[in-house]
Amino acid sequence: MKGVAISLRKVSKKYGRVEAVKDIDLEAPGGSITTLLGPSGCGKTTTLRIIAGLEKPDAGSVLFDGVDVTGLPPEKRGIGMVFQDLALFPHMTVFDNIAFGLRVRRVPENEIRSRVNNVLELVNLDPSEYGRRRISELSGGQQQRVALARVLVIEPRVLLLDEPFSHLDYKIRQKLIGEVRRLQRRLGITIVYVTHDQEEAMSISDKIVIMNNGRIIQEGRPDEVYENPANLFVATFFGEANLLEPGLAGVDASDIAVIRPERVKLEPKDPVDVIYNGVVEDVVFQGPYLRVDVRINGETIKVIYPKINGGRIRVGERVRVGWNLSDVKVLGSE
């Protein structure tokens, strides 16, 4: 199965007076996972629905492998879509849910049985154990696998996922994200994934497209966007960032500058470019790390502190905090 390259050219969409999507250009490379990330109402789901053909843009075009598909209905685009609510048929068995799309296409029953069984194995559900079960007899994670299988069985050119794991608990969500990546590599299909969860986006994406107010703010590999945010919105939405006020060393009064908490040194053992005395305001346990809030000159600086460094940090304790200027990202005015 060959992944399809998706392009949006100058696409806009209004609902009444609300501009949901404003003149966006987007490239989702074939055979990769591109994630649309942003806060609620930023336009990411509208963009996904335009790619699917469920919404027609007011302006602009949608291309699959360079071919204009803007006027094609969803069933002519070769797409499969998994919605947040899954939309499984509760009165049908797992097998019949997955077979539904094939029967609509009048595929012979012997081929349906083979394809449904194969795709159940692909999503790690034993056909002999799960094929006859009702949807109500499945866990949330198993239902999600069925929803994926129902889409994959029709062999789509493009897979569109709209916050599909948002209702699942953390461990199941992380496991399914890993399985989607495995499936994508095995099948080579193009996936466009929508989420508002930054960690989810980091975990699953080959490319991240950050949106806000109907526009694309920044795009690139997860590490590129994280390490080099385009502006303050990206820096604070995609990961945590300390906003450095002009009064702190190394920041010009006309600049907007940030530093990631993990780049800040608490009680630095090696030389750093700037160093301050401060007071610990809060300590938050985060597994192998501590997030330490330190008050410096009236400003709070967040520090990610590896527990392996040892020692116990207490609220009210006086500490030294420093950083290197090479770790400060100067963003300028937005």
Residue with the bigger pLDDT between 48 and 175: it is 48
Band of residue 249 on the pLDDT scale cut at 50, 70, 90: low
Q: Report which of 207, 212, 260, 205 is spatially closest to residue 233, judged by C-alpha positions.
A: 212
pLDDT in the model for residue 330: 86
The 3-state secondary structure of 76-114, one letter per residue: HCCEEEECCCCCCCCCCEHHHHHHHHHHHCCCCHHHHHH
Using a pLDDT cut of 90, give the percent of the chain over it: 74
Residue 103 has pLDDT above 70, yes or no: yes
- Cβ distance 229 to 238 under 8 Å? yes
pLDDT in the model for residue 253: 60
Q: Report which of 87, 80, 64 is spatially closest to residue 153, judged by C-alpha positions.
A: 80
Band of residue 259 on the pLDDT scale cut at 50, 70, 90: very high
Please tell me the CATH code under which domain 242-330 is placed. 2.40.50.140
pLDDT in the model for residue 201: 94
Q: Where are the domains of the chain?
A: 6-234, 242-330
pLDDT in the model for residue 309: 62
Residue 333 has pLDDT above 60, yes or no: no
pTM to 2 decimal places? 0.89
pLDDT in the model for residue 85: 80
Domain spanning 6-234: CATH 3.40.50.300: yes
pLDDT in the model for residue 308: 67
Band of residue 288 on the pLDDT scale cut at 50, 70, 90: confident
Residue 268 has pLDDT above 80, yes or no: yes
> Are domains 6-234 and 242-330 of this chain identical in fold?
no
Band of residue 83 on the pLDDT scale cut at 50, 70, 90: confident
pLDDT in the model for residue 166: 82
Region 226-247: what's the mean pLDDT?
Answer: 89
- Whole-number average pLDDT of the chain: 91
Q: Tens digits of per-residue pLDDT, 177-216? A: 998 999 899 889 999 999 999 999 999 999 999 999 999 9
CA 174 to chain CA centroid, nearest Å: 12
